[in-house]
Amino acid sequence: MTPLLEVDDLHVSFATPRGAVRAVQGVSLSLEQGTTLGIVGESGSGKTVLSRAIMGLLPRHSATQTGSVRYQGNEILNAPNDELRQLWGTHIAMVFQDPMTSLNPVLRIGRQITETLRIHLDLTKSEAKETALSLLMQVGIPSPVERFNAYPGQLSGGMRQRVMIAIALACAPNLLMADEPTTGLDVTVQAQILDLLSTLQHERQMAMILVTHDLGVVATRADEIIVMYAGNVVERAPTNVLFTQMSMPYTEALLGSMPRISYPSHTRLLSIDGRPPDLLSPPAGCPFAPRCPYAQGKCHREKPTLVEGAVPGHSYACWFPLPIREKAATS
């Protein structure tokens, strides 16, 4: 059976006045119907660019994309907009990262939901309104009838995020791309929204790509996790394997910077020292080398490629992965 989504060696670069920004450098992944893939990485690691490239939403004039993206076996990378429009909203939908800027500020909430229902599902005005109200209810918006006529500016961030989920789910897509659906929300709202997504996903047998910078978010919700660093996949594994066999120092560092529920909200997280490399001229060796506590000479010279780990489905890009280092330490 062909997977729902297959991405092969996807590269994305942006033409900028200072040169080409290589935001995604050879990402491959695949996703089955009904499963969840977590994509984790620091800010700027290319998560948003990757998910938009998969959907075909990047601006054509500035973004160059190579490789392959197949949806239900059909190649969609660089497909014409008219073709992609057949998928957008109905097959693949996206929850955007920033609820404050992703809803149209001059249109009422209701309109923004019913619009797709009327166009894609051919519902009448009153049918669409009924469906929209029930969607608003499903995503946990209190008094949906009043919210239906509200403008985005009259709702809190959490409410707007729920509205975006309602919009994305309106036409029952097969694949939901959730790009950090909980950034900027407080911890309880975060958990509510993530649980809501999981519930709806199971009800609808929907596949989901859950993008986040927080390993904790995907720990309990994803079937498989991909760790991204500076446009590269540096480690990937089924979720339980990743947490038991973590091999790449960057993944370890990410885990160290994970927010804990026990912290009062808004405490500054322990972040990883140093900054990610410049995507205009990526270093020759391992992109993480300048910040890696285990880096050695080879790391600065040669770029490690993804290699299979001991457990099937686990791969990592590192010359000195954790298990080997541990062995070296004990012997």
Please report, as ranges, the residues that interact with ligand ATP according to CB under 6 A: 14, 16, 21, 23, 41, 43-49, 62, 97, 213, 279
The answer to whether the beta carbons of residues 229 and 213 sit under 8 Å apart is no
Question: x/- string (CB under 6 A) for ligand SF4, residues 28-67?
Answer: ----------------------------------------
Token code pair at residue 174: 């097969």
Dist CA 161 CA 299 (whole Å): 41
Residue 193's contacts (CB-CB under 8 Å, 6 or more residues apart) are 158, 161, 162, 165, 181, 182, 185
Residue 158 touches ligand SF4, criterion: CB under 6 A: no
The pair of structure tokens assigned to 102 is 């992703």
* Encoded tokens for 139: 């995503």
Distance CA(235)–CA(279), nearest Å, equals: 19
Within positions 193 to 252, which residues make up the interface with ligand SF4, using CB under 6 A? Answer: 248-250
Proportion of the chain in helix, strand, coil states, percent, rounded to 5: 35, 20, 45
Candidate residues 106, 261, 310, 329; the one interacting with another protein per rule CB under 8 A: 106
233 contact, one of ligand SF4, ligand ATP, another protein, none, CB 5-8 Å limit per kind: none
CB of 184 to Mg ion, least distance (A): 12
Residue pair 206/176 in contact (Cβ under 8 Å)? The answer is yes
Our finding on whether 286 is near ligand SF4 (CB under 6 A) is yes
- Backbone dihedral angles phi then psi of residue 273, each to the nearest 5 degrees: -60, 150
Q: Does 282 bind ligand SF4 (CB under 6 A)?
A: no
Return residues touching ligand SF4 (CB under 6 A). Answer: 248-250, 286, 288-289, 292, 294-295, 299, 304, 318-320
Residues that bind another protein in the complex, under the rule CB under 8 A: 52, 55, 57, 81, 85-90, 93-94, 96, 98, 101-107, 115-116, 119-120, 151, 153-154, 164, 167
